[in-house]
Amino acid sequence: MAFADLRNEYETPMVVASAVYRGGTRVRDIPIEDVGPAALAEGEFVWIGLHEPSMDILAHIQARFGLHPLAVEDANRSHQRPKIDLYGDALFMVLRTAQVKDACIVYGETHVFAGRGYVIAVRHGPSASYGEVRARCEREAAMFARGAGYVIYAIMDFVADNFFPVIDTIAEEVAEIESHIIAKTFTSEEVNRLYQLRRELLGFRRSVSPMLEVCARLERYNLPIIEADMRPYYHDVYDHVLQVNESIDNLREALASAFDAAMMLSSASQNEVTKKLAAWAAILAVPTAIAGIYGMNFENMPELKAEYGYYVVVAAIVAICVYLYRRFKKADWL
């Protein structure tokens, strides 16, 4: 690809940042067409941030830094599972990011290439910008001087920390629905939402859990680009991800309990209605049966000639209905 074309693509949002650092200090910004080991002095490394770059940019960077073709192929496509692959002294890492939008969890991806003298972060989808991570690293110059190992940690820590707002948002919604269930004021829409949240959390868990393995491998493997004293920092990220994973499991259990409680309350409410309908049906059956008997067109019915027969029958109907009402009331059917 011609440099002029690369320069045009550099001016698009696909290249978010490209800067050279030495000793934890930003030395200069570097155009994407000039990046590569030849442009770096001893002790310098370049940190490039890309957002949904074209294959031309990825191919250019691959040629400059000798990136593995399989890693570049993965970085060009989203919907990758969180993982870490090692290619000699270089690594390729895939992380899933998550945030809540319009009451749903939306996912993005971050693909990270790291090796001697470079860190390249490629974002796909609606993931948060890493401008905050870069600013944090530049403020902590002493830690940033460790190079690529600290940048990888900072990115992973940022991704893990952004899981917590998702957990908090869902926990608040679950607590609100639970309060409605306890007060017996829940609606069918809220019951459906419980089921939807369980599915959302299942997908969230699939994005979070593999990151435990990524953290464990970075903590365990002896990589030249990661100093040994950086391993406790990766363990800290591991703890954060483990906490998120446990919170997901706890929320799913809470949702299951709330769903079961809602179903039992709905069933109990239906039973109450059924009992009331049955009780009133039994009470109304008395006048219906008596009126049905006296509504028959027979002439030789002795009761028809009784002087006070009408009043006696009405009194009997009232008495029986009152008796049944009191019995059903005592049995808590009415």
Whether 121 shows a pLDDT value over 90: the answer reads yes
* Domain CATH code at residue 117: 3.30.460.20
Nearest Cα residue to 218 out of 100, 114, 323: 114
**Helical axes 231-294 vs 148-161, angle rounded to 10°:** 20
Which residues are within 8 A (CB) of 116 and not within 5 positions of it... i.e. 6 or more apart?
45, 89, 90, 148, 224, 225
How far the first Cα of the chain sits from its last, in Å, is: 83
Pinpoint the alpha helices (H) of the chain: 3-10, 55-65, 69-75, 131-139, 141-144, 148-161, 163-182, 188-220, 231-294, 309-330
Domain containing residue 77:
1-140
Residue 164: predicted pLDDT: 94
Tokens of 325: 């009402």
Tokens of 279: 């009780």
In a domain, 191, yes or no: no
User: Can you tell me the mean pLDDT for 170-184?
Assistant: 86
* Domain CATH code at residue 275: 1.20.58.340
User: Can you tell me the mean pLDDT for 43-60?
Assistant: 91
Residue 3: predicted pLDDT: 40
In a domain, 186, yes or no: no
For 135-145, how does the pLDDT look when each residue is reduced to its tens digit (9 = 90+)?
Answer: 999 999 888 88
pTM: 0.77
User: Can you tell me the mean pLDDT for 279-294?
Assistant: 85
Q: Given CA atoms 44, 32, 80, 106 in this order, what sign does their dihedral have?
A: positive
22, β-bridge pairs: 25, 44
For 75-93, how does the pLDDT look when each residue is reduced to its tens digit (9 = 90+)?
Answer: 888 778 889 998 888 899 9
In a domain, 221, yes or no: no
Inter-CA distances, 93 with 85, 112, 203, Å: 6, 5, 20
Domain count of the chain? 2
Residue 100 carries which side chain, given as an amino acid letter?
A: V
Examine the fold and report which residue of 91, 121, 140 is the final residue of a domain before the chain moves on.
140
Whether 301 shows a pLDDT value over 80: the answer reads no
Lowest mean pLDDT among 129-143, 207-221, 270-284, 297-311: 297-311
For 217-275, how does the pLDDT look when each residue is reduced to its tens digit (9 = 90+)?
Answer: 888 777 777 888 888 899 999 999 999 999 999 998 888 888 788 777 777 677 777 88
Examine the fold and report which residue of 96, 114, 140 is the final residue of a domain before the chain moves on.
140
Whether 6 shows a pLDDT value over 70: the answer reads no
Whether 181 shows a pLDDT value over 50: the answer reads yes
